[in-house]
Structure 1
Amino acid sequence: MRRAGEWEQAYLEFAGARSRQLYRSACLLTGGDTHLAEDLVQETLGRMYLVWGRVARIGNPAGYAQTVLVRSYLAHARRRSSGERPAAVLPDGPGPPDADAVLRLTLLDALRQLSAKDRAVVVLRYWEDRSIEETADVMHVSSAAVRTRSVRALARLRELLGGEVGEYAAGR
């Protein structure tokens, strides 16, 4: 058993090493809502702190943290208040965006239009590069449900994006 100081130091090292990856995943899950992404990462790290004393039984703390993040996101998406959105246009915005920023915003906008579960499947399968079985386990659904959601979500993304992605990628 570790002493309290060693335990806290190990947690701080883990949190420092994983917070950036958790934040990137959270940004994709939230469709670019950086404030909600920060809240989800904070909630994830808080939950990890609570179980850190049992980390030896977890086996893969990084994978467990990703699972906690996705489940926190899905729980948030089920709440009624999660439908609130900030204003789309700000009065004094920055200058014209570059091609990479436009592509990123276009993709985030398309992700935002997917349902919460479809977005979670896309992020887990294609951003996190998880297997169908791992994705099913994280989301508490069957492998068939993950396959079905993947196909439908990708079709919806293609429909939403049309030729737009090719235009932006070609301009790079």
Structure 2
Amino acid sequence: MTAEEDEDYAEYVSASLERLRRAAYLLCGDASRADDIVQSTLVSVYLRWSRIRTVDNLDGYVHRILVRRYVDESRRSWARVLLAWRLPELAAKPPASSEDADAVRAALGTLTRSQRSVLVLRFICDMSVAETAAVLNCSAGTVKSQTAKGLTAMRALLRDQWPTSTGSAIASRVADTPSELEEAGRQ
């Protein structure tokens, strides 16, 4: 690669790294795995940068690689192996102000891979139905049905988790807009 291409790549990575990490985290639910997925994605992008830097929808192209890396990694049985001789210490419980985001993140983690991928691309990466369909290489109808099924499942999980007025309020917010899903992606 030329020095100009290296600069373009560095600019792209610095501008999109946090979005990619957030999307990967919401896909897999583990910060370490998310970093591995992002690193693998960025290596693939770097190796093809001279050809793909002029693609019309570069973000969509990179998100497609990211989702494929996530799916490939989750298919491998060795990816679930714990390589430590003892279990890691549990993180401290987050402050109460992030309770809603944690509930949404947990509900997101229970969805199928396809539903989770569609919801993350649609509402966290802010892609349209057509862009999401192109990234996942499926039809727009599939994106719409997976979005509807995923949001329905999340509503039910949030209502079951918090049957009080708080849970109903969060579930209705997920029903109206994906603001809680977006908030979970920011944290």
Q: Is residue 74–residue 117 contact of structure 1 (8 Å, CA) maintained in 2?
A: no
Structure 1 residues 145, 90: CA separation in 2 closer, same or farther (over 3 Å shift)? same
Structure 1 residues 69, 91: CA separation in 2 closer, same or farther (over 3 Å shift)? closer
Matches of 1:135 and 1:157, distance apart in 2: 20
Q: Does 1:64 align with 2:53?
A: no
Q: Which amino acid aligns with 1:20?
A: E
Q: Is residue 122–residue 132 contact of structure 2 (8 Å, CA) maintained in 1?
A: yes
Q: Which amino acid aligns with 1:138?
A: V
How far does residue 52 in structure 1 lie from its aligned partner after superposition?
Answer: 0.8
Matches of 1:99 and 1:164, distance apart in 2: 15
Q: Does 1:41 align with 2:38?
A: yes
TM-score (norm 2): 0.75
Task: Identify unmatched segments of 5+ residues in structure 1.
Answer: none
Matches of 1:85 and 1:147, distance apart in 2: 36
How far does residue 56 in structure 1 lie from its aligned partner after superposition?
Answer: 4.5
Out of 30, 50, 54, the position equivalent to 2:51 is 54
Deviation sequence 1:80-106 (CA, Å, 0-9, x none): 3455689xx965653x53233222222
Q: Which amino acid aligns with 2:70?
A: Y
How far does residue 77 in structure 1 lie from its aligned partner after superposition?
Answer: 2.6
Match of 1:20 in 2: 18
Match of 2:71 in 1: 74
How far does residue 10 in structure 1 lie from its aligned partner after superposition?
Answer: 1.7
Q: Is residue 71–residue 138 contact of structure 1 (8 Å, CA) maintained in 2?
A: no
Q: Does 1:108 align with 2:105?
A: yes
Matches of 1:55 and 1:92, distance apart in 2: 41
Match of 1:133 in 2: 130
Match of 2:179 in 1: none
Task: Identify unmatched segments of 5+ residues in structure 2.
Answer: 171-187
- Where 1:9 maps in the other structure, the secondary structure is helix
Structure 1 residues 167, 60: CA separation in 2 closer, same or farther (over 3 Å shift)? same
Q: Which amino acid aligns with 1:45?
A: L
The count of corresponding residues between Structure 1 and Structure 2 is 164
- Where 1:65 maps in the other structure, the secondary structure is helix
Deviation sequence 1:41-89 (CA, Å, 0-9, x none): 1011101101111135412323322221122112223333455689xx9
How far does residue 13 in structure 1 lie from its aligned partner after superposition?
Answer: 1.7
- Where 1:109 maps in the other structure, the secondary structure is helix
Q: Which amino acid aligns with 2:25?
A: C
Determine what percentage of the aligned residue pairs are the same residue: 32
TM-score (norm 1): 0.81
